[in-house]
Amino acid sequence: MTGRAQALAFEISDARSRTLELMADLTDEQLLGPRLAIVNPMLWEVAHVAWFQELWVLRTAWKQPPLHAEADGLYNSSTVPHDVRWDLPLFPRGKVGAYLREVRDRILERLARAEPLPNEAYYLDLSIAHEDMHDEAFSYTRQTLELPPPPVSHAARPAELAGPCEGDVEVPGGTFLLGAPYGPGFIHDNEKWAHERRVEPFAIARAPVTQSEFAAFTDDRGYLRRELWSDAGWAFREREQAQHHLSWRRDGAGWLRRDFDRWVPLEPHLPVLHVCWHEAEAYCRWRGRRLPTELEWEVAAAGEPTADGRLSSRKRRYPWGDDPPSPERANLDWRALGCVDVGALPAGDSAFGCRQMVGNVWEWCADDFLPYPGFSADPYADYSQPWFGNHKVLRGGCWVTRARLIRNTWRNFYTPNRRDVWAGFRTCAAR
């Protein structure tokens, strides 16, 4: 096995190992879990990962027959409604594990015999990205259900007590190519393709909003002041009866936050997590600031200044440059088993001085999730197209995001009411 086949085989095996260990310590009852609108039963979702890879790699790319005749009716997320997934005759955990291993082994056997053709490599990359994203979802499901932290196989890197990272950086205006450029490597359809946009000068925070900063908003009755919330945001607050952060509770004059199955004091310099877009917007209004647009976020992460202070035409793949992520640059891959201080990892700064724009915490942007000009759906048409217009954009990845997955042009998207995902935000100076 050489070249591309070897790299793909490693990533297939690595992703599958992570999926298997994320379910290994859970009981059958925990794998099914309660019926909630914001999570899937993990027993269903893990089998869906195997089914998706079988569908697109074994059956679509390599024209092999189905492994289980009943699987399409159980695990196709495009046709099986969310609410019924607890009621289906799901595979028991032993069969799910065997399904995951059989799909993996068939792929590895094929890659050991021959280099994949370009279209085959595309479907393999698609399946790896899909599995990596679901592994992230398994982690926030564990947080939502108050289960123990994920039992990842490597030793955790100690959290860096690096303190705050205050202030704004000034970013010049100019012409910028928003989106992914043409070139080798796997790109999702919603990133295609780089297109020219004009950006005005702006000032953006060096780091995401911290727990202590968000606590100050809460202590100033931020959740109870109607003038801080949009109509949609106030309707969300009323519907949820939100008085404070979903995963916080009072502890005397201060706050505790729930970290999976335990309560810990707020860590003042960690980024606030598990806030929805509406909460982020209300905080910004309280501070007299705003969320960055998606264009501004990508300019701050990927852009460079010229020698005379203008916006360069060069664009970086990552905030620090074009070299892949490393532990010194970004908190990814479960390395710290949580977030690190917003002042940590200065080696990952963008050219303009923004810290942790990749890793640690996903960041909400102001924009609706919309297609770029000339959008055309990829073969997995339900990845982006059904969600345009009713979701908001997030950028940058978080501490459980796989390093191979993320880049400056990656666009994540959730509905603005989601408080369970690994989402925070950074702010911009008001115009």
- Regarding whether 366 and 315 lie in a shared domain, the answer is yes
What does the DSSP assignment read for 69-83? Answer: TTHHHHH-TTTS-GG
**Exposure of 261 in the CB half-sphere (CA atoms within 13 A):** 5
Residue at 121 is within a domain = yes
Q: What φ, ψ does residue 393 adopt, rounded to 5°?
A: -90, 140
- Regarding whether 168 and 108 lie in a shared domain, the answer is no
pLDDT at 157: 62
Q: How many residues does the chain have?
A: 431
Residue at 391 is within a domain = yes
User: Residue 359 in contact with residue 331, Cβ under 8 Å?
Assistant: yes
Residue at 159 is within a domain = no
- Regarding whether 195 and 51 lie in a shared domain, the answer is no
Residue at 153 is within a domain = no
Its domain, for residue 356, covers 164-431
Please tell me the distance from the alpha carbon of residue 213 to that of residue 280, in angstroms, as a whole number.
12
Residue at 150 is within a domain = no
pLDDT at 156: 61
Q: Which of 116, 144, 172 is the last residue of a domain?
A: 144
Please tell me the distance from the alpha carbon of residue 61 to that of residue 80, in angstroms, as a whole number.
23
Residue at 54 is within a domain = yes
pLDDT at 185: 86
Residue at 157 is within a domain = no
Residue at 151 is within a domain = no
Q: Which parts of the chain sit beneath pLDDT 70?
A: 1, 154-160
pLDDT at 68: 98
- Regarding whether 330 and 256 lie in a shared domain, the answer is yes
- Regarding whether 172 and 122 lie in a shared domain, the answer is no
SS3 170: strand
pLDDT at 126: 98
What does the DSSP assignment read for 221-285? Answer: TTTT-GGGS-HHHHHHHHHHT-SS-TTEEEETTEEEEEETTEEEE--TTSBP-S--HHHHHHHHH
- Regarding whether 227 and 117 lie in a shared domain, the answer is no
DSSP state, 94? H
User: Residue 75 in contact with residue 48, Cβ under 8 Å?
Assistant: yes
At 425, which amino acid appears?
A: F
Residue 100: which H helix or E strand, with range? helix 93-113
SS3 414: strand
pTM, full prediction: 0.97
Instruction: Find the CATH number of the domain harbouring 234.
Output: 3.90.1580.10
For the chain, the domain total comes to: 2
**Exposure of 327 in the CB half-sphere (CA atoms within 13 A):** 9
pLDDT at 150: 84
Q: Which residues are CB-contacts of 134 (< 8 A; sequence separation ≥ 6)? A: 19, 45, 46, 48, 49
pLDDT at 158: 59
User: Residue 290 in contact with residue 427, Cβ under 8 Å?
Assistant: yes
pLDDT at 227: 98
pLDDT at 16: 98
Residue 168: which H helix or E strand, with range? strand 168-171
- Regarding whether 236 and 384 lie in a shared domain, the answer is yes
User: Residue 223 in contact with residue 237, Cβ under 8 Å?
Assistant: yes
